[in-house]
Amino acid sequence: MMKLRIALAGALVAVVALGLAGCTGMKKQKQEFTVLIRMMPAQQRFFEQEIVAKFNKEHNCKISVAPFTNQLDIERFLKLDAGKAQPEIGLVKTPFEVTRVLVYKGYMQPLTAVVDSAQVMQDLAEYHQLATGLGYVDGLPYYIPRKLETRVLFYRKSMVADAVSKFDKYKKQINEDLKKQNKYGLPKDYALESDPSQWDFYDLFVVGYIWAKEEYNGVKMPRLAHRGAKYEGTALDLVDRALQLGATHQDILSLGDKTAQTFLWENVFIRNGLYNPSMWQDPWRGSDIYNGIKDGKVFCTYLQQIDCFNVHGWADDPGMPSYLPDVKDMGLCAVPKAVSFDLTAQGQPVVDGTRMISTGGWWWGIPKTSPNAKLAYEFARFVTNHDNQAKECSKFGMIPVRKDILLNLPNVFDEGWVGDIFKTSVDQVNTNQLTTVPLVKGYPLVAQNLIDAWYKLCVGYDEKKDGKIDAEIMKQNLVKDFGPKEKEILGADYPK
C-alpha cells in the first residue's frame, strides 16, 4: 500500500490553476447547486469529504450531493427539477447507457453552450480520445469524461484448482446430462483448462456443475452468479453475452438469433442449477455479489474494476474491508470466449464468438436547467483534474480517462493486485475496441424488457410444463412475448 502511494505521488504533477470563475469573488453570496450521483458508500464518502468539501471551502461555494438508484431515476429527477421555479440539479454523473437518451429528450446542453468552444476543445484534449469521443452526440461535445468501465472475470484461484482436479470424476456425468440437452455432450476433444483466461462458455458450465455438486464448508449449493436485480446492471450482463456471440445492435433490439443464443445459455445455467438462486430471489446487485463472495456462496462472477477493488479491500482502511477469506486467492482475467450452446454433429459450436464485450463508463453532464452551468462545468473539471482523478483511481480502481495518468499506469502495474486489476481491465477495454450497448434513446426501457424476458424465459421456465427448449424455440418465445413491447419502446428506431 505504501509503495503504491509513493509511486502515485511520484507520478503526480502540478495542475495548472483552473481559474474557477464561477466561484471567484463570491464571498458575499454562495453559489449553490446539487450534483446527482450514484456511487458505492465508501466512494461517496471520499467524493463528499475529499473533493466536494475542498471545492466548497476553497471557492466559497455550496455544492451538495444527492444520490440516485436507477438509470431511470435521472430522467424522472430532471423532469421534476425542470418544473421548479428554481431548479437545483446542476450536474449529473451520467452512465453511458443514458448519455444519448438524455440529450435526445432535451435534458442536457452541449458543453459549447456553457463555455467557449475553443476552451472546451482545449479541455477535452486532456482526456483519452475514446472517453472524449463517447461523450459526443451528433457531433457536439455534451459530456466531460469521468471514467471508463468494462467487466472482467473474477474467480477464486483455489476453487478453480479444485474443480480442475475433480473434472475426471464428473466428466462422464456432465457428458450424459449435456447430451440430453444439446444432443452431443461436451464439445469434441474438450478439456478443462487450469487457466481461466483460456475458458469459453462451456468451461463456465463445467466448473459451475462441479461446484454445485461438491460440498464446501458443509454445504452444497450453486457457486456461479451475476447480477439479478431488475436494473441496468443485469441487462448489461445479457447484452454483453449477446455481443460476444456476434449480435449486432439490430439483433439485440429485434431479439434475434444471437440474442436468443444468449438467453438459451442463461436458461441452461439456471435449469442445471449452476447459478446461485439468490441472484433473483433476493435479488442481487453488485454489493450483494460481494457478500456472496465473502460468505463462500460465489466462486466466480463478472465484476467491473471498481468491484474488484471493493472485493479485495485495503488492509489499512477500515472503510474498505476485504470480502475475501484470503486476498491472495483473487484471480482476474478477460471474460470467457463466447460459444453457442448448440453444437454441430461433429461436436463443434454452431456459433464461435469472441471475448469482446461493451465498454461504457460515466460522464459528467450539465442539464439545460442547471442553476449555474459555468460553475457546474468548472466543478466537473475539478473532479477530473490530475490530482483528484489519480487519488480516486488509486483508491477505488477506476479506469482513468486522463492521458497524463494513463501514460503512468505502467508504473502501477508492478504493484501486485492493484496492477493486476488495472492491467486486466485495460486489456479488456482494448479487446472490446469500440463495442458499446445499442445507442438508441429507448435503451433504458429496452434493458428493462430484456430483464423481464430473462425472468420469464430463464428464471421462470419450467421444462416439464413449458416443454423442451432450444435456440429456435427461445427466439420464437422472445419475439412472441417481448417483441411487441420492444416495437412499442423503439418506435422508429426498431430495426427494419
* Residue-averaged pLDDT of the chain: 91
Domains of the chain: 2-149+359-415 (3.40.190.10), 151-357+439-496 (3.40.190.10)
pLDDT of residue 410: 65
DSSP 3-state assignment of 361?
Answer: strand
| 265 contact partners, CB below 8 Å, separation of at least 6 | 201, 241, 341
pLDDT of residue 189: 96
pLDDT above 70 as % of the chain = 93
> Which range is least confidently modeled, 23-37, 60-74, 446-460?
23-37
Does the pLDDT of residue 431 top 50, yes or no?
yes
Does the pLDDT of residue 14 top 50, yes or no?
no
pTM (predicted TM-score): 0.86
Does the pLDDT of residue 5 top 80, yes or no?
no
3-state secondary structure 73-122: HHHHHHHHHHCCCCCCEEEEEEEHHHHHHHHHCCCECCHHHCCCHHHHHH
**Structure confidence at residue 54 as a pLDDT band (50, 70, 90):** very high
Per-residue pLDDT tens for 359-407?
A: 999 999 999 999 999 999 999 999 999 999 988 888 888 888 999 888 7
Sign, Cα dihedral of 107, 392, 155, 213? negative
What is the distance between the alpha carbons of residues 73 and 295, in angstroms, rounded to a whole number?
A: 31
> Rounded to the nearest 5°, which phi and psi values hold at 230?
-85, 70
pLDDT of residue 18: 31
Per-residue pLDDT tens for 265-289?
A: 999 999 999 999 999 999 999 999 9
pLDDT of residue 415: 64
Amino acid at 304: Q
Does the pLDDT of residue 163 top 90, yes or no?
yes
pLDDT of residue 146: 95
pLDDT of residue 414: 52
pLDDT of residue 216: 97
Per-residue pLDDT tens for 124-145?
A: 999 988 899 999 999 999 999 9
- 236 pairs with which residues across the strands? none
Per-residue pLDDT tens for 239-269?
A: 999 999 999 999 999 999 999 999 999 999 9
Q: How many CB atoms lie within 10 A of CB 391?
A: 17
Closest CA to 151 of 41, 281, 286: 286
> Which range is least confidently modeled, 101-110, 187-196, 235-244, 439-448?
439-448
pLDDT above 90 as % of the chain = 80
Beta strand residue intervals within 221-352, DSSP E:
300-304, 330-333
Distances (CA, A) of 392 to 58, 148, 314: 20, 13, 14
Check if the beta carbon of residue 244 is closer than 8 Å to that of residue 204: no
Check if the beta carbon of residue 206 is closer than 8 Å to that of residue 213: no
